Amino acid sequence: MKRKMGLLLAIVLLVGTVLAGCSKNNENAAESSNSADPGTGSNASAGASGPDISKPVELTWYLLGDANPDTPKVMDEFNKMLKKDLNATVKLNFTTWNDWSTKYNLLLTAGEKIDMIFASSWAGYFKYAKQGAFMDLTDLLPQYAPEVQGQVPAQDWSDVTIGGKIYAVPNTNPEYTPDGLVYREDWRKELNLPEIKDLDSIEAYMDGIKKNKQGVIPINGSALNEIYTMFLYYHDLHSIGGDSGVVVSKSYDTPRDIVAYPFTPEYEAWVKKTKEWADKGFWSKNTLSSKQEAGDLIKTGTGAIYWRNPPGASGFITDVQKNDPKVELGYFPFTRFHNYAMPTMAIANGMAIPRSAANPERSLMVLDKIRTDPKYYNLITYGIEGYHYDLINDGKNIEMPSKSQDPAKVQAYGIADWGWRNKELMKSGIGGWDGLDKLNEEFSNMTKPDIFSPISMDYDPVKSEYAAVNQVIDQYGKPLMLGLVPDVDKAIQTYRDKLTAAGIDKVLDYVKQQANAYYDEKNIK
């Protein structure tokens, strides 16, 4: 009897909590939809009478990465100016790099009062915008950020437009980040190898290094990125919507021709070549399990080639030469295979306003200020003048930290300022690798807009097939890509069979459908 009572009580309690949980959820949903409505409502009313800044506000902004130790000091200065001009202060918060994507997701989904947050295609901008995490800025921009509206090129606005609505302010800093290879140029000269300009010279280079340099493996450590990106660029294949596995568009000129590359003759020829390379020892047999970056092994003198994009290469080369000035490194961007380059999408970096923001208007006004007024831009980006930096050459270049300070104590100031970058206000440093400027000039002369990255893919309708296909790529595709199989023809056959069994056709259809929808929307043939 007693036991029965206990059980009954437990059940009652249980049911009670479940019900409580449900009602909480409902309340929650109701509240969030409510809070969104008054937000837009008040915007409209404020819009009629012009920006009203009589009420002092504290804005909460979130950036990725870490604060600089001097950030509180810099923000104090910044807020003093801002208080005077816009009657607002900004509290800058950072996600830190630990699990930043989890935290970013929490910040946006939990409905915290955040007035501005970093947004980016690589941080899920399209996904979050479609889920309604960001505020629609289309009507707010002309009112509260008129200068920025004119500053950002139309193409960039179109990059952030989803269904006719603008959800973020992209940065204005055309960047090129194609893949490419960093290599030991001094060894190439020493061994009289041909200059690297196409696939054959790359092969000759690796061959020369392997034969003449004792103990050096051309691509030491993990070689997958080097070979895989080279394959895509060499055959002008394009991943869709970031990383789409084996489903690619066949060329820039025929973007609607979408295939799964393992079924193409180009792939067959390619893996036969890589098999040859692997047998010659251009990379090690355990390269797939190696956790070592090829770049680290260049530093120790046992590797010769490393995969990087141009800004990454610039940082890497500067770093290596600081440690050992005798080492000379060259760079070969894969764009030279087909002689065109796509700039990164404008929304590779930008700022957005979460739907739960308390003061979106003021936030936009502050952003407008930062992006147009050098005083604000320099302070929040480079720190305090005369302490963190000096302007030289009539303000064209920057020297960090300031000459007047002791370099042992004062370091250059730097935070994740990518979201509000504006080419006109940016200062380039002096020193470092001079190749980057040349490359950027080369790219800007052969630029074509990126028509593959903005296609938003969430794979939800084909979730299980997508997971199965990725599993097959890991298990069969990667060894094949690196030629680490005894019999290539048989391995290709197995790979294709497994892909078909995993449901590659369904994934392919889904990608095609998403891509075509995007091309229709943007009028791309």
Partner 1 sequence: MKRKKDPATILFQIIAYSTVTILTVLCLLPFWLVVIGSFTTENEIIGEGFKLWPNALSLDAYHAAFSNPKQILQAYWVTTWITFVGSIAGLFLTSMAGYVLSRGDFKYRNSFAFFMYFTTLFGGGLIPWYILIVKYLALKDSYLVMIIPSLISAWNIILMKNFMKSIPDSIVESARIDGANDFTIYTRLIMPLSTPGLATIGLFLALGYWNDWFTANIFITTEAKYPLQFFLYKILANAAVLRTNIAANLSAVNFTAPAETLKMAVAVIVTGPIVFLYPFIQKYFVKGLTIGAVKG
Q: Enumerate binding residues for partner 1 (CB under 8 A).
A: 2-3, 5-7, 9-10, 13-14, 21, 28, 65-67, 69, 93-94, 96-99, 102-103, 106, 109-112, 177, 292-293, 296-297, 299-300, 302, 308-309, 311-312, 314-315, 319, 349, 382, 400, 411-414, 416, 418, 429
For residues 365 and 166, give the distance between their C-alpha atoms in angstroms, rounded to a whole number. 16
For residues 148 and 168, give the distance between their C-alpha atoms in angstroms, rounded to a whole number. 12
| Minimum CB distance to partner 1 smaller for 32 or for 201 | 32
| Minimum CB distance to partner 1 smaller for 166 or for 182 | 182
Beta bridge partners of 88: 57
The single-letter DSSP state of residue 131 is H
Q: Where do the DSSP E strands lie in 316-356?
A: 329-333, 350-352
| Minimum CB distance to partner 1 smaller for 6 or for 51 | 6
Q: Least distance in Å: CB of 200 to partner 1?
A: 28
Q: Are 59 and 53 spatial neighbours (Cβ–Cβ below 8 Å)?
A: no
Q: Least distance in Å: CB of 243 to partner 1?
A: 13
Q: Are 94 and 64 spatial neighbours (Cβ–Cβ below 8 Å)?
A: yes
* Three-state SS sequence of 424-468: CCCCEECCCCCHHHHHHHHHHCCECCCCCCCCCCCCHHHHHHHHH
Which helix (H) or strand (E) segment is 238 a member of? strand 238-239
Q: Least distance in Å: CB of 332 to partner 1?
A: 17
| Minimum CB distance to partner 1 smaller for 15 or for 501 | 15
Q: Least distance in Å: CB of 414 to partner 1?
A: 3
Q: Least distance in Å: CB of 6 to partner 1?
A: 4
| Minimum CB distance to partner 1 smaller for 5 or for 48 | 5
Pairing of strands 161-162, 180-184: unpaired
Which residues have CB under 8 Å from 279's CB, separation 6+? 483
**CA nearest to 88, candidates 418, 370, 374, 377:** 370
Q: Least distance in Å: CB of 481 to partner 1?
A: 20
Tokens matching residue 466: 């997508």
Tokens matching residue 392: 């030289």
Q: Least distance in Å: CB of 418 to partner 1?
A: 5
| Minimum CB distance to partner 1 smaller for 270 or for 420 | 420
Q: Least distance in Å: CB of 220 to partner 1?
A: 10
| Minimum CB distance to partner 1 smaller for 300 or for 339 | 300
| Minimum CB distance to partner 1 smaller for 66 or for 390 | 66
Q: Least distance in Å: CB of 364 to partner 1?
A: 23
For residues 46 and 39, give the distance between their C-alpha atoms in angstroms, rounded to a whole number. 11
Which helix (H) or strand (E) segment is 171 a member of? none
| Minimum CB distance to partner 1 smaller for 4 or for 525 | 4
**CA nearest to 215, candidates 153, 121, 281, 158:** 281
| Minimum CB distance to partner 1 smaller for 169 or for 260 | 169
Report the phi/psi class of residue 395: left, alpha or beta, with left for phi > 0 and alpha for psi in -120 to 50. left
**DSSP code string of 53-108:** --S-EEEEEEESS---TTHHHHHHHHHHHHHHHHSEEEEEEE--STTHHHHHHHHH
Q: Least distance in Å: CB of 365 to partner 1?
A: 24
Give the strand order in the sheet containing 247-249.
238-239, 247-249, 258-260
CA dihedral (360, 94, 453, 368) positive or negative: positive
Q: Least distance in Å: CB of 311 to partner 1?
A: 3
Q: Are 123 and 354 spatial neighbours (Cβ–Cβ below 8 Å)?
A: no
Q: Are 184 and 294 spatial neighbours (Cβ–Cβ below 8 Å)?
A: no
Tokens matching residue 251: 């060329």
| Minimum CB distance to partner 1 smaller for 391 or for 488 | 391
Q: Least distance in Å: CB of 317 to partner 1?
A: 12
CA distance to 154, 183, 344, per residue, from 276 (Å): 48, 21, 34
| Minimum CB distance to partner 1 smaller for 259 or for 412 | 412
